[in-house]
Amino acid sequence: MNNFENVNNRRTRPAKPPLSLDIIIKTAYKLLSENGISGMSMRKIAKALDTGPASLYVYVKNYQKLSAYVLDYGLREVKLVENDTVYWKDAIINILKSYFKVLVETPGLAELALTTPPNGMNSMDINECLLKYLQTGGISKRGAAWGIDILLLYVSSLSFERTRRSKKDNDLDDMVALYNKVDVSKYPMIGMLKSELFSGEGDERFSWGIEVILQGLLTMQNS
Amino acid sequence: MNNFENVNNRRTRPAKPPLSLDIIIKTAYKLLSENGISGMSMRKIAKALDTGPASLYVYVKNYQKLSAYVLDYGLREVKLVENDTVYWKDAIINILKSYFKVLVETPGLAELALTTPPNGMNSMDINECLLKYLQTGGISKRGAAWGIDILLLYVSSLSFERTRRSKKDNDLDDMVALYNKVDVSKYPMIGMLKSELFSGEGDERFSWGIEVILQGLLTMQNS
DNA sequence: ACCTGAACACCGTTCAAGT
DNA sequence: ACCTGAACACCGTTCAAGT
């Protein structure tokens, strides 16, 4: 074999870092944030690591489990530390704003959050922290336990919608078009409210929804 | 060519129904309800219709648009008609229960509801109806418009979780296992509430969540 | 034990050629 | 216009053979 032709043999090419679960997750996350969810395939991760797809299965059971790891890795940046003097409601809103920001900034992460059961340290930290502040606000055990689910779900889906909206070939536009040329006599409410149905681009709708859920949790205490 | 060997030529095989958008959607829905979301691929739909995958693209722009049609077709069975004497809140709960039932009974439909922007007559009927009852309950225009989003999202995700839970090779079980062997000194809240976090199999959690959202909507009126 | 190319059984979509 | 087989550019996962 001719070493001059085969420039990329083991001796001449740069040393390849050994595989590990950690390096696989980080590579997957990088691909996800650069190219969205379709950029993170087992084959593309393997190629980015200069190996074959089979190699990944030494460290990861399957694509779904890897997705869960990547989601949790993405959530490491959610800011949980609050000044002790912050009112419990504002603390919750700040945490959820940070969660929202992380999901919107990394394309594909919002979709993962909506379809992959969270599983890992960072998601656990977020849950623990939210439970603490709900407890501080006087919300019952069951209210807190079931309430964090609604809160995180609401924020995940808002961010998923936001990331979809910023893509082109937008299926949301079809929906908007359908609602805009609706027969007002058959759909009076939709006709009347169509401007409201798709409004709330900025923080307004986000904050409103969280307020609704928190108000609901508080009110349910006394009944 | 030998007609005796080639039994399935055009003359001898049963007449093939002509393609149409309608027939494609119904076939896709049938495959979805029998085999879940992975059973509904363009290729499998084509095979079920005894043709090649390219034929479908005469009637449907792409897989995502077809998904939206199938979702709306699945929603046709949601019961919207309520006795006029029913209290508005109960009417909403009944509609959402029917929506929940439809999503749980057809595997894959819940996932579609969570990831595909609804687009069609049936989804519009559901929205119109919910808006009407929220209005009856005295909820503001904006509250109603933004509120149906939270309500439908909440029910969709509960049904998605339910359908996932009934599968084996369940990634949710990993999460439950993780939460069960958590370090109680680091995660006191999770340790304390872990039984509540995964409870609520039946109607209880479903009804509780809807009540929370409705209470929140009502309370937000006066602030 | 770790690593890998090749193979297996699939995808969505488009092309070119038919009617 | 409608229909279609074949091709294109991909998937996740497993196997068999290497070290």
Residue B112: name the closest of B80, B150, B66 by CA.
Answer: B66
- On the question of pLDDT at B80 being above 60, the answer is yes
Q: Quick check: A180 contacting B, CB < 8 Å?
A: no
- Note whether A157 and A165 are within 8 A (CB): no
Lowest mean pLDDT segment, chosen from A5-9, A20-24, B76-80, B145-149:
A5-9
How does pLDDT run across A31-49, given as a tens digit for each residue?
A: 999 999 999 999 999 999 9
Residue A141: per-residue pLDDT: 94
CA B216 to CA B223: how far, in whole Å? Answer: 11
B141-150, B163-172, B191-200: least confidently modelled range: B163-172
The pair phi, psi for residue A81, each rounded to 5°, is -75, 125
In this structure, are residues B79 and B95 in contact, taking their beta carbons and an 8 Å threshold? yes
> CB of residue B42 closer than 7 A to nucleic acid strand C?
yes
- pLDDT for residue A202: 77
Average pLDDT, chain A: 89
Query: What share of chain B has pLDDT > 70, as a percent?
Result: 91
pLDDT band at B29 (very low <50, low <70, confident <90, very high): very high
CA-closest candidate to residue B43, choices B51, B201, B6, A217:
B51
Tell me, yes or no, whether B69 lies in a domain: no
The model's confidence at residue B157, banded by pLDDT at 50, 70 and 90, is very high
- Domain assignment present for residue B14? The answer is yes
Contact with chain B for residue A95, Cβ under 8 A: no
Nearest to B37 by CA among B60, B84, B70: B70
User: Which residues have Cβ atoms closer than 7 angstroms to strand D?
Assistant: A 41-44, 52-54, 57, 62-64; B 16, 18-19, 51-55, 57-59
CA of A7 to C1' of C2 (A): 25
Tokens of B5: 């060997």
Residues in chain B: 223
Q: Contact at 8 Å (CB) between B127 and B80?
A: no
- Last-in-domain residue among B31, B60, B89: B60
Average the pLDDT over A166-189 and give the result.
86
Domain count, chain A: 2
Do B47 and B106 sit in the same domain of this protein? no
Supply the pLDDT for residue A174: 86
Share of chain A above pLDDT 70, in %: 91
B187 closest CB neighbour out of A117, A128, A193: A128
Per-residue model confidence (pLDDT) at position A180: 86
State pLDDT tens for residues B123-152: 999 999 999 999 999 999 999 999 999 999
> Average pLDDT in the B81-88 region?
88
Does residue A115 surpass a pLDDT of 50? yes
Instruction: Based on the fold, state whether residues A115 and A194 are members of the same structural domain.
Output: yes
pLDDT band, very low/low/confident/very high, at B36 (cuts 50, 70, 90): very high
CA angle A129, B150, B136 (to 5 degrees): 135
Q: Based on the number of CB atoms within 10 Å of its own CB, is B148 exposed (0-12), middle (13-18) or buried (19 or more)? A: buried
Cα gap A171→A180, rounded to integer Å: 15
Mean pLDDT computed over every residue of chain B: 89
**Residue B19 and residue B96 share a domain:** no
- The listed range with the strongest mean pLDDT (B52-66, B157-171, B196-210) is B52-66
The set of strand C positions with any atom below 7 Å of a protein CB reads: 2-7, 10-16
What's the confidence (pLDDT) of residue B12? 38
Same domain, residue pair A156 and A56: no
* pLDDT at position A1: 32
DSSP 8-state code for residue A41: -
Closest CA to B97 of B65, B73, B121, B130: B130
The answer to whether the Cβ–Cβ distance between A124 and B214 falls below 8 Å is no
Structure tokens at A61: 């059971």
Looking at the structure, do residues A132 and A210 belong to the same domain, yes or no? yes
What is the DSSP code (8-state) at residue A120? S
Instruction: Give the dihedral sign, CA B151/B154/B158/B161.
Output: positive
In a domain, A74, yes or no: no
Please give the structure tokens belonging to residue B195.
């039984």
What CATH number is associated with residue A102?
A: 1.10.357.10
pLDDT band at B219 (very low <50, low <70, confident <90, very high): very high
Is the pLDDT at B108 greater than 50? The verdict is: yes
Position B123 in a domain: yes
Flag whether B67 is in a domain: no
Kindly state whether residues B56 and B94 are assigned to the same domain: no
| Confidence at residue B222, expressed as pLDDT on a 0 to 100 scale | 65
* CATH at residue A39: 1.10.10.60
- Check CB contact of A150 with chain B, cutoff 8 Å: yes
B13 pLDDT more than 70:
no
Q: Is B162 on the interface with A (CB under 8 A)?
A: no
Place of tokens 């998605």: B160
Residue B150 and residue B43 share a domain: no
Q: What domain range includes position A44?
A: 3-60
What is the spatial distance, in angstroms and rounded to an integer, between the CA atom of A209 and the C1' atom of C16?
A: 53
Same domain, B38 and B128: no
Question: Tokens for B13?
Answer: 């095989």
- Nearest chain B residue (CA) to A176: B119
Query: Within this chain, do residues B93 and B52 fall inside the same structural domain, yes or no?
Result: no
pLDDT, tens only, A116-135: 998 899 999 999 999 999 99
Q: Which two tokens stand for residue A108?
A: 């594909």
- What pLDDT sits at residue A167? 78
- Smallest CA-to-CA distance from A189 within B140, B150, B114, B76 is with B140
Residue A69 resides in a domain: no
- pLDDT(B28) > 60: yes
Is residue B74 included in any domain, yes or no? Answer: no
- Model confidence band, residue B169 (pLDDT cutoffs 50, 70, 90): low
**Record: contact A209-B150, CB cut-off 8 A:** yes
Q: Taking a contact as any Cβ pair under 8 Å apart, which residues of chain B between 196 and 215 contact chain A?
A: 196-197, 199-200, 205, 208-209, 211-215
Question: Which tens digits make up the pLDDT trace of A61-79?
Answer: 999 999 999 999 999 999 9
What pLDDT does B171 receive? 82
Q: Report the C-alpha gap between B108 and B116 in whole angstroms.
A: 12
Of A156, A150, A166, the closest CA to residue A100 belongs to A156
pLDDT digits (tens, 9 = 90+) for A74-96: 999 999 987 889 999 999 999 99
A137 touches chain B (CB under 8 A): no
Inspect the interface and report whether the beta carbons of A131 and B174 lie closer than 8 Å: no
pTM (predicted TM-score): 0.92
How far apart are alpha carbons B85 and B94 in whole angstroms? 13
**Token pair recorded at residue B221:** 């009126």
CA distance A166 to chain B (A): 14
Same domain, B25 and B97: no
A113 shares its domain with A154: yes
> Is pLDDT at A12 greater than 70 in this prediction?
no
